[in-house]
Structures are given as C-alpha cells and as structure tokens.
C-alpha cells in the first residue's frame, strides 16, 4: 500500500469574512458621519428671512422682536407704535428664527402678531389692556 500523503490543515475562512464585514462597517459609518457633517455645514450657512408683522386696532403698543442666528440672539424694541407694523430681517446659522411680542397699553384694544421663518408662519392674538401676543418661530 502506498503511503498516505499528510493532510493539509483546512484554512479557516471566518477570520477573513469577519475582517471584510468589519471593514465595510467602519467604512459605512465613516461615510455616514461625513455626509451628516456636510449637511449640517450646509444648513448652518443657509440664510433665511424672518418676517415680523403686527396688525390690530390697539394704539400705542410695545413691540419686542428677536432674531436667532450665528449662535447669537439679537433683540430690539419699539414703543408707542400704532399697527400695522412690519419688518424683515436676514439670519443664518444652524438654529435660526425669530420671535415677536406685542403688548397693548392702558387703552387696550386687540393685536395680532405673525412671524414667518422659512415659509412657516406662527400667529397669536391678544385683546384688552396690558395683554401680550407672543409669536415664536424657528
């Protein structure tokens, strides 16, 4: 009987399969992080218009408006205003938007505020003496 050649040990395939899966997983995660980072960067650079509007029959109202953008909050106030009143302001940053508060005086009346940011509109109304309508949009 001829001698039996020695058996070669079988090569294990699972370490190679595991390595390929691990490489694909790490590559996919890296691509996802880069993609999300790019989208966040683009969104933070996008500029939007914040539109403020006050209407109503109240006289001598106080208007306080704020704008969020570039990591900052800017706030302004105008007093003794008779509606209608409006203003537009540009802002950009990851969080962007604005708010508007309209307060009636001692004579009362009714007011309506409206803030439009990037096509989304937020409204509120108030009536009576020393009441406030608050519109917040961002």
Q: Are residues 37 and 57 in the same domain?
A: no
Q: CB–CB of 63/54 below 8 Å? A: yes
CA distance 96 to 118: 9
Q: Are residues 64 and 80 in the same domain?
A: yes
Q: Are residues 66 and 84 in the same domain?
A: yes
What does the pLDDT profile of the chain (138 residues) look like in tens digits? 677 777 777 778 888 889 999 999 998 988 888 888 887 777 777 888 899 999 999 999 999 999 887 778 889 999 999 999 999 998 887 777 899 999 999 999 999 999 999 889 999 999 999 999 999 987
Q: Are residues 32 and 95 in the same domain?
A: no
- Domain membership of residue 25 (yes or no) is yes
Write the DSSP symbol of residue 52: E
Q: Are residues 52 and 82 in the same domain?
A: yes
Q: What is the pLDDT of residue 65?
A: 95
Q: What is the pLDDT of residue 84?
A: 96
pTM higher than 0.85, yes or no? no
Q: Could you tell me the two tokens for 78?
A: 């105008």
Q: CB–CB of 62/77 below 8 Å? A: yes
Q: What is the pLDDT of residue 1?
A: 66
Q: What is the pLDDT of residue 96?
A: 79
Domain range for 72: 47-137
């Amino acid at each position: 009987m001829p001698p039996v050649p020695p058996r070669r040990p079988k090569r294990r395939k699972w370490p190679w399969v595991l390595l390929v899966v691990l490489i694909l997983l790490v590559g996919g995660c890296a691509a996802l992080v880069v993609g999300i980072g790019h989208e966040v960067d683009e969104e933070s650079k996008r500029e939007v218009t914040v539109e403020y509007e006050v209407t109503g029959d109240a006289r001598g109202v106080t208007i306080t408006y704020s704008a969020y953008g570039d990591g900052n909050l800017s706030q302004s106030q105008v007093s003794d205003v008779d509606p209608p009143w409006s203003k537009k302001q540009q802002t950009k940053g990851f969080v962007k938007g604005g708010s508007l508060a309209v307060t009636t005086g001692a004579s009362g009346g009714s007011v309506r505020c409206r803030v439009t940011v990037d096509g989304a509109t937020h409204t509120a109304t108030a009536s009576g003496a020393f009441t406030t309508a608050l519109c917040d949009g961002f």
